[in-house]
Copies of this chain bind each other. A is one copy, B any other.
């Protein structure tokens, strides 16, 4: 990690800049795949699966038998862990259901709002080195709670055309019944446009590489909603001398091991802490299986030493981290002053990894500074909120003058008439 001491405002701005990824170069490639799947459906999906995943599949669907058998392939310990995580995530997300409350804004004018699950949603889970079954919990559980009727999952097959049993176990646990062995842009395209095998959905969720991210951006223009824009994963640790250097180093490394483009930031007023963390990083790094990835990510990472806690808070708010760990004596008071972050971890015993897996909060969070305007995934992400109104004759009478005057002033006489014709008829 590089350390920056007491940067001024202009320097701080520079330090907080994320690396810019120009997706315009990918766009043409991604568009080609999207269009081909749109036109040729399963045939195109098959072709791209062969091309990109190196496996030829005649059927992308995972059978119910395969799903059932998955459970037998996992240790009981792991199954119990997944079930415990499922329980906690469910407990936390269930509280996000909103109740209908009828509000009489004027006598006889009743308005209310109701959340209804998006009928058809698609979840995408990337392949790669690790089977990200935890993300299935994070997306599938709120989808279930929201009442989505069709929840489908696409994830790339391995070279043998198989999926990891933990993926299938998590999928059945959260009630996903349709699982497809499709990855990358072709998976996003299949869910966005529908094929003979894959149903078309209304909203697509889940992480992915630059190609998948670009595909999700593009299909928005076809009216398909997505969870949020995405960038590399990030952690920012705000710490004072009450922090334990070894814990902080472990947290920074848990972010750094995600990928070489992971963003890791330490903000503190304590020069001593920075030094101790550096030492701990070196020590802990040695024993990590993903040492090479973590080391590369750390090379682009920053420790910033600032003058006082107010400056630190300002900096942290400007950065708008996906994950913010506050390891400070006054953690709760400081948290009150944070306005931009995806998820906040307080104190010495709340490492990011508990939120990544099992504490109950969602781990699908806004990266890349998007936390300034976006929230992480929640039950809200899987519902639409429809508003309703019902007026009595008296209610319409009470509000009629207001509506007529405003419609007239906007030059919309037919809007006015829709009220006047009813009033005349009373």
- The 8 A CB mask of A58-88 against B (1 = contact, 0 = none) is 0000000000000000000110111011011
CB distance from A377 to the nearest CB of B (A): 10
A161 within 8 A of B: no
A339 within 8 A of B: yes
A25 within 8 A of B: no
- Cβ–Cβ contact A348 & B422, under 8 A: yes
Please tell me how many copies of the chain the complex holds: 2
Residue among B250, B350, B361, B385 making CB contact with A414, cutoff 8 Å? B250
Q: Can you name 9 A-B pairs with beta carbons within 8 Å?
A: A88-B105, A131-B411, A223-B229, A254-B418, A288-B417, A290-B412, A354-B403, A357-B406, A372-B384
CB distance from A320 to the nearest CB of B (A): 9
- The 8 A CB mask of A90-134 against B (1 = contact, 0 = none) is 011001101001010110010101001011000000000111111
A105–B141 Cα distance when bound, in Å, is: 15
- The 8 A CB mask of A391-426 against B (1 = contact, 0 = none) is 111011001011101110111111111110110010
CB distance from A344 to the nearest CB of B (A): 5
CB distance from A362 to the nearest CB of B (A): 7
- Cβ–Cβ contact A389 & B111, under 8 A: no
Q: Kindly list chain B residues whose C-beta atoms are within 8 Å of the C-beta of A373.
A: 118, 202-203, 224-225, 384
A250–B403 Cα distance when bound, in Å, is: 14
| Stretch from A45-53, A177-185, A302-310, A363-371 forming part of the interface with B | A363-371
Residue among B223, B383, B389 making CB contact with A345, cutoff 8 Å? B389
Contact status of A349 and B395, CB under 8 A, knowing A113-B96, A384-B373, A413-B289: yes
Across the two chains, which residue of chain B brings its CB closest to A91? Answer: B105
Q: Kindly list chain B residues whose C-beta atoms are within 8 Å of the C-beta of A195.
A: none
- Cβ–Cβ contact B370 & A376, under 8 A: no
Q: Kindly list chain B residues whose C-beta atoms are within 8 Å of the C-beta of A220.
A: 217, 220, 229
- Cβ–Cβ contact B361 & A130, under 8 A: no
> Which A residues lie at the B interface, using CB under 8 A?
23, 77-78, 80-82, 84-85, 87-88, 91-92, 95-96, 98, 101, 103, 105-106, 109, 111, 113, 116, 118-119, 129-134, 166, 202-203, 217, 220-221, 223-225, 229, 244, 246-247, 250-251, 253-254, 256-258, 284, 288-290, 294, 331-332, 335, 338-362, 366, 368-376, 378, 380, 383-393, 395-396, 399, 401-403, 405-407, 409-419, 421-422, 425
CB distance from A317 to the nearest CB of B (A): 8
A23–B361 Cα distance when bound, in Å, is: 39
- Cβ–Cβ contact A402 & B84, under 8 A: yes
- Cβ–Cβ contact A109 & B254, under 8 A: no
Q: Kindly list chain B residues whose C-beta atoms are within 8 Å of the C-beta of A111.
A: 92, 359-361
- Cβ–Cβ contact A103 & B92, under 8 A: yes
A82–B344 Cα distance when bound, in Å, is: 41
- Cβ–Cβ contact B338 & A403, under 8 A: no
**Shortest 8 CB-CB contacts between residues of A and residues of B:** A105-B360, A225-B373, A351-B418, A130-B411, A81-B405, A346-B390, A202-B373, A88-B105
Residue among B129, B353, B407 making CB contact with A416, cutoff 8 Å? B353
Contact status of A421 and B247, CB under 8 A, knowing A81-B401, A354-B403, A374-B225: yes
CB distance from A5 to the nearest CB of B (A): 27
Across the two chains, which residue of chain B brings its CB closest to A398? Answer: B84
